């Protein structure tokens, strides 16, 4: 994608607009927009009934973080910029850490909803230990056992490691 083509599609565009302005096929227009968003030239995406609108800029915007964790400091740097999804277990531990620091109940409530999605107790335990929120997890786990349906049962090993007695 050269600079003259980029100047032609500067501003708000749909895929059809890019297709008409550059005289290319629809699939090529999608490919161009994808490459532009990867390089930081697509500043904003808005879904509308007419189609998704893309704000194209000639100056690339480099983002350090993407998604809901923008501006946060994740401890596990191996997963911070990975292409794979961040595990539910890490999200639970991260939200409990934020709750412990800020005492904002929104983090606690989100972590409480995610308890149903626990599959890997070993990973969860490692993240709880890493973030230092074992006690907060036990408290939240007990509350969610009462409130939320179908919360998975904690294995005996992790009950012992977390000093959790029923």
What is the CB neighbour count within 10 angstroms for residue 147?
A: 12
How confident is the model over 99-118, as a mean pLDDT? 90
Q: Within 10 A of 13 (CB to CB), how many other CB atoms are there?
A: 22
User: How many H helices and E strands in the chain?
Assistant: 9, 3
Q: Show the domains of the chain with their CATH numbers.
A: 3-56 (1.10.10.10), 73-161 (no CATH)
Minimum mean pLDDT range among 75-79, 86-90, 130-134: 75-79
How far is the C-alpha of 150 from the C-alpha of 115, rounded, in Å? 9
Q: In the chain, what percentage of residues exceed pLDDT 90? A: 31
Which is more confident, 115 or 49? 115
pLDDT of residue 43: 79
Of the listed ranges 17-26, 76-85, 128-137, the least confidently predicted one is 76-85
CA distance 2 to 78: 34
**Residues near 110 by beta carbon (within 8 Å), at least 6 away in sequence:** 95
pLDDT at 72: 46
Q: ∠ CA(160), CA(117), CA(108), 5° rounding?
A: 80
Instruction: Write out pLDDT tens, residues 33-67.
Output: 988 888 888 877 888 777 888 888 887 776 554 55
Angle (CA) 142 138 117, round 5°: 75
Q: pLDDT confidence of 133, banded at 50, 70, 90?
A: very high
pLDDT band at 83 (very low <50, low <70, confident <90, very high): low
Taking the model in full, what pTM does it have? 0.50
Q: Specify the DSSP class assigned to residue 69.
A: G
**Looking at residue 84, what is its pLDDT?**
59
Confidence of residue 1 (pLDDT cuts 50, 70, 90): low
Residue at token pair 């349906």: 149
| Structural contact between residues 115 and 148, judged by C-beta atoms closer than 8 angstroms | yes
Crossing angle of helices 15-22 and 26-39, rounded to 10°: 110
């Amino acid at each position: 994608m050269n600079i003259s083509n980029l100047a032609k599609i500067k501003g708000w565009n749909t895929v059809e607009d890019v297709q008409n302005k550059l005289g290319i096929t629809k699939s090529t227009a999608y490919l161009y927009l994808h490459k532009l968003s990867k390089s930081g030239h697509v500043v904003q995406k808005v879904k509308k009934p007419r189609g998704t609108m893309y704000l194209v800029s000639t100056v690339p915007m480099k983002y350090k973080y993407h998604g809901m964790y923008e501006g946060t400091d994740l401890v596990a740097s191996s997963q911070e910029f990975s292409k794979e999804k961040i595990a539910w277990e890490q999200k639970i531990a991260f939200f409990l850490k934020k709750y412990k620091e800020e005492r904002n109940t929104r983090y606690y409530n989100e972590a409480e909803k995610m308890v149903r999605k626990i599959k890997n107790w070993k990973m969860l335990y490692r993240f709880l230990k890493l973030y230092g929120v074992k006690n907060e997890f036990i408290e939240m786990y007990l509350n969610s056992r009462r409130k939320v349906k179908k919360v998975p049962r904690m294995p005996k090993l992790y009950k012992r490691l977390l000093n959790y007695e029923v």
